[in-house]
A and B are shown apart, each in its own frame.
Chain A
Amino acid sequence: MELFNDLLLGFSVALTPANLLYGFLGVLLGTVIGVLPGLGPVATISILLPVTFALPAPAALIMLAGIYYGAQYGGSTTAILVNLPGESSSVVTAIDGYQMARKGQAGLALATAALCSFIAGTLATLVIAVAAPALAEVALDFGPADYFSLMLFGLVAAVILAHGSVVKAIGMILVGILLGTIGIDANTSLERYTFGIPAFGDGIDFAVIAMGMFGIGETISNLGQSEGGRSFVKEVHGLWPRWADIKRFIKPALRGTFLGGCLGLLPGGGPVLASFSTYALEKKLSKTPGEFGKGAIEGVAGPEAANNAAAQTAFIPMLTLGLPSSAVMALMIGALMMQGLSPGPQLMNQRPDLFWGLIASMWLGNLMLVVLNLPLVGIWVKLLSVPYRMLYPAIMLFCCIGVYSINNNALDVMLAAIFGGFGYLMKRLHCEPAPLLLGFILGPMIEETLRRALLISHGDPMVFLQRPISLSFLVLTVLLLVVLIAPMIRVTRQRAFEESTD
C-alpha cells in the first residue's frame, strides 16, 4: 500500500503540466539529437545539460531522463535506418534492424524497437519502485569506509566500460580524479591547482568537461572520417505490427527485459553488455538461428528490450547509493549536484517528491516515446537526410551557447574547447573519455570518504578490512581486477568490443 501511495505522489509530481511539458521536451530534443549519426546518449545529454540547470530539481531530472530515453531511442532509429549505431548499445540492433529495413520492413523494425522498449521500460520501472527503497534502507547503514570501498568497486567495474587497455582506463580514471581536486579543498579551505584564477576556486564544471570531451571531441573525430555514401532506407511504411509479429517478439522482449534488468544493476554492466548477451541468448534459443543477421525480428526485439531495461535499472545504484554505473549516470549525478542535491540513500527521504517523481516520469517518458516516435518517424527520416556538414556547425553553436550559459563565463567556453582537443587526442591514443568523467565525478567523494574513514580510525587503514560491507566490496574489486587482467578473458572482451567499435 505504501508503494501505491509513493507512486501516487510520484505521478502527482510528474503529471503537473509543467513537468509533463519538460518531460516531453526532453524526449523530443533527445530524439532529435540522438537521431544524428555519431552522437550517442552521453554526447546528447552533455550538449543538452545546461538547458536544465535553470529548472527546479524535479523538472530538471525529469527532462534529463526524457533526453536519455529519447537519445537512446534516436540511436536505435539511426541504427535501423542507416546501419550507423550512434552508441555501442544499439550496435546489435543495427545487425538485424538494418536488414529488416532493407527488406522493406523498416516500419515494423522501428515499431518493434519502440514497443519492446516500452514493455521493458514499464517492467523495469516497477522493479525500481520496489527495489530502490529496500536498497536505500540497507545503504543507510553504510559508513565512510564502506562508501570508499563501494566507490572503488564502482570505478574498477567501470573499467569494463572502456574499450581496450585496462591500464589506460585506470589511468584515465586517475586523470579524472586529479581534475576533480582542482578548486578549494573543502576540509582545509586551501586552493589546489587553481593557478590563481578565481573562477577555478569552485573547481571545473563537469558540464564543461563532458561537453568538451564528448560533444566537441566526437565532432572532431567525425569530421576526420569521410562522409562517404551512406545508404539509408528512406521508405518507412507498415508501421503497425500484425498479431503474428507480436507473437514472435513478445517472448524475446520479456527475456531481454529480465536479462537487461539484471545486468543493468551491475556497475559497468549496462546497456551494452545487456544487448550483446541478449542477442547471443536469442540466437541460441531460436529454432532458425540462420535467420539472425538477415533480418530476424527477435534480433531487434530482445536487444532493444534489454538495453532499455538496463538503462532503467542503472538508475537504482545511482539513486540509492550515489554510485554511477555508466557515463550517463555520472552525468545524472552531476546534474543532481548542480541542483545542490547529493545522491545517496538520504535522497529518498529528503526529497520523496523528486525520487518518486523521477520514477513516475520514467514510465511516462517511455510512453511518450511510443506516442511520439512512431507517428513522427517521417520527420526523423527527413532529419537523417540533412547532410552532416549542415548539422555539425549547429551542434557546435549549441555547445558554445550551452557552456557559456552555465555561469555566463567565457572562460568555460575556452576550457571546453581545450577539453575537446584533449578528448580527441586521447581518443587517438586509444584512451576513452568515459572513465575520466566517472573519476572526475567520484573523485571528490572518494577523497571525502577516505579522509573521514581514516579520521574515525585514527589513521589505521585496517578499517577498510574490518567492516564487513567494506570488506566485501574490496574482495569484489580484487576479483574483478583478477578477471580483467586474466588474459583469456581479455581476449574475448576485446573480440566483443571490436564489433562495436567498427
Chain B
Amino acid sequence: MDIKLSSDFLTGLFFCSLGALAIIIGSDYPIGTAARMGAGYFPLMVSSGLILLGGILIIRSFLTETEEIGAIDVRPLLLLIGSILLFGLLIEDWGFPVAGLAVVIGARIAGRHYKPLETALLAVGLVGFCLVLFSYGLGLHLPATRLW
C-alpha cells in the first residue's frame, strides 16, 4: 500500500495514538456527570478531540498533497538528548562537576567539527565557571563530586 509519508499523516497518527493511549490509561478514572464531573470527564473530552483532529489530518493527507517531513538530523538529536539524560543520571550520585563535564562534552560531540582539545578546555572552563557562579555566587545547591 502506498502511504505517503507526509507530515500531516504522521502528525495525525501521533495525535490519534496519543488520544487513544490517554483514553486507555484513563479508562479507570470515574467519568461522573456533567454537573458532577469525575476525574476522567475532562481528559476523555480532550483525548476524543485529539483523535478527531488526528483523523482529519490522516484523511486530509490522502486527499491533498502535503508537506513532506524534512530531513531529521539524527546525530544532534540523539547525542544532545543523550548527553542531557546522562547529566540527569550522573548528577545525584557523581555530583555536578562530573555531570557537567559529561553534558558539555556530549553536546560538543553532537555538533560538527569536533576538536578534542578545544572541547576539553571548554568543558573544564564552563564547569568551573558555573561552579563559582551558581554554587558559591548564587548559593544554589549542586551536588558535589567527592574524590576519594
Contacts and interface: CB of A to CB of B under 8 A. Distances in A.
Nearest to A405: B140
Contact of A417 (B25, B60, B88, B130): B88
The 9 closest A-B pairs by CB, nearest first: A459-B35, A224-B73, A413-B88, A459-B34, A223-B76, A417-B84, A414-B88, A190-B39, A393-B107
A377 interface: no
Contacts of A459: 33-36
Interface string B114-136: 00000000110011001000100
Contacts of B146: none
Given A187-B37, A455-B36, A175 B50 contact: yes
A184 to B, nearest CB: 9
Interface stretch (A131-139, A306-314, A421-429, A465-473): A421-429
Interface in A396-420: 396-401, 404-405, 408, 410-414, 416-418, 420
Interface in A215-234: 216, 219-220, 223-224, 226-227
Interface in B36-54: 36-39, 42-43, 46-47, 49-50, 53-54
Contact of A188 (B39, B50, B141): B39
Interface string A34-67: 0000000000000000010010000000000000
Contacts of A421: 77, 81
Given A413-B91, A421-B81, A459-B34, A397 B126 contact: yes
B42 A219 contact: no
Contact of A396 (B35, B36, B84, B92): B84
Contact of B50 (A174, A408, A420): A174
A229 B116 CA distance: 23
A223 B80 contact: yes
A414 B89 CA distance: 8
Contacts of A174: 15, 46, 49-50, 53
A461 interface: yes
Contact of B134 (A223, A392, A401, A417): A401
Given A223-B73, A429-B11, A420 B84 contact: yes
B124 to A, nearest CB: 12
Contacts of B89: 410, 414
Among B37, B113, B123, residue most surrounded by chain A Cβ atoms (within 10 Å): B37
B121 to A, nearest CB: 10
A397 B80 contact: no
A420 B80 contact: yes
A393 B126 contact: yes
Contacts of A389: 108, 111-113
B91 A178 contact: no
Contacts of A170: 53
A62 B14 CA distance: 39
Interface of B: 7-8, 10-11, 14-15, 18, 22, 25-26, 29-30, 33-39, 42-43, 46-47, 49-50, 53-54, 56-57, 60, 67, 69-73, 76-77, 80-81, 83-85, 87-89, 91-92, 96, 99-100, 103-105, 107-108, 110-113, 122-123, 126-127, 130, 134, 138, 140-142
A181 B37 contact: no
Interface in A190-246: 190, 192-193, 216, 219-220, 223-224, 226-227
Contacts of A396: 80, 83-84, 103-104, 107
A394 interface: yes
Interface of A: 51, 54, 165, 167-168, 170-171, 174-175, 177-178, 181, 185, 187-188, 190, 192-193, 216, 219-220, 223-224, 226-227, 389-390, 392-394, 396-401, 404-405, 408, 410-414, 416-418, 420-421, 424-425, 428-431, 443, 447, 450-451, 454-455, 457-459, 461
Nearest to A412: B88
A177 B80 contact: no
Interface hub of B11, B33, B105 (most chain A Cβ within 10 A): B11
* Chain B facing A: main interface SS: helix
Nearest to B47: A178
A414 B141 CA distance: 18
B104 to A, nearest CB: 5
Nearest to A408: B141
Contacts of A412: 88
B80 A216 contact: yes
B100 to A, nearest CB: 6
Contacts of A454: 34-35, 37
A462 to B, nearest CB: 11
Given A192-B29, A224-B73, A459-B35, A178 B99 contact: no
10 contacts: A170-B53, A181-B42, A220-B76, A396-B83, A400-B91, A401-B142, A404-B91, A412-B88, A425-B77, A459-B34
A171 B107 contact: no
Contacts of A223: 73, 76, 80, 110-112
A181 B73 contact: no
Contacts of A405: 134, 140-142
Contacts of B122: 390, 393
A187 B107 CA distance: 43
Contacts of A188: 30, 38-39
A168 B9 CA distance: 11
Nearest to B127: A397
A400 B99 contact: yes
Contacts of A458: 35
B103 A392 contact: no
Nearest to B71: A224
B11 A393 contact: no
Given A216-B84, A417-B84, A428-B69, A393 B108 contact: yes
